[in-house]
Amino acid sequence: MVNVERTAKKWRARWNDGKGAPSDVQSLWKRFLALGQNTVLGSVSDNRQLSLILVELCAIADETCFSLGIPASTPDEADKFYFHAAELLINDEYGATLCENIHPSKARVLPKMHTPQTGLTFRSFSLHLALYLGNEMRPEWHTVPSSQYKHKLNLLLIPWPFVVDQRWFRRVRGEIRLPPKYGFFEYVPEAGTDRVDVMTKTLINRARARYSHIDGVLFPELALTEEQYVQVRDVVLSRSAFLIAGVGEAATKTSPARTNRVHFDLPLANVFHVVKLQQAKHHRWRLDKAQVDRYGLKDLKTKSFFWEHIKIEDRCLHFVTPRPWLTIAVLICEDLARPDPVGDLVRAVGPNLVVSPLLDGPQLSSRWSSRYAAGLSDDPGSSVLTLTSVGMVNLSCPKGKKDPAYRVVALWRDGGGGETKEIRLPRLRHGIVLKINVKERTEYTADGRNDHGATGYPVLEGFDFI
Euclidean distance between CA atoms 454 and 317, whole angstroms: 25
In this prediction, residue 92 has a pLDDT band, given cuts at 50, 70 and 90, of confident
Mean pLDDT of 367-376: 96
Share of the chain above pLDDT 70, in %: 98
pLDDT in tens, 181-211: 999 999 999 877 679 999 999 999 999 999 9
pLDDT in tens, 304-335: 999 999 998 899 999 999 999 999 999 999 99
What's the pTM?
0.95
pLDDT in tens, 134-184: 889 999 999 998 765 578 999 999 999 999 999 999 999 888 888 989 999
DSSP state of 310: B
Q: In this structure, are residues 207 and 466 in contact, taking their beta carbons and an 8 Å threshold?
A: yes
Question: Which domains, and CATH codes, for the chain?
Answer: 4-135 (no CATH), 152-465 (3.60.110.10)
238's CB contacts (< 8 A; 6+ apart) are 271
Euclidean distance between CA atoms 146 and 213, whole angstroms: 12
State phi, psi for 277 to the nearest 5 degrees. Answer: -120, 150
- Strand-pairing partners, residue 187, are 169
373's CB contacts (< 8 A; 6+ apart) are 336, 354, 356, 384, 386, 411, 413, 420
Give the pLDDT of residue 193: 67
Closest CA to 411 of 419, 422, 426, 401: 422
86's CB contacts (< 8 A; 6+ apart) are 68, 69, 143
Euclidean distance between CA atoms 222 and 187, whole angstroms: 8
Euclidean distance between CA atoms 326 and 113, whole angstroms: 8
State how far the alpha carbon of 223 is from the alpha carbons of 196, 244, 245, 343, in Å. Answer: 10, 11, 7, 25
Give the pLDDT of residue 4: 95
In this prediction, residue 272 has a pLDDT band, given cuts at 50, 70 and 90, of low
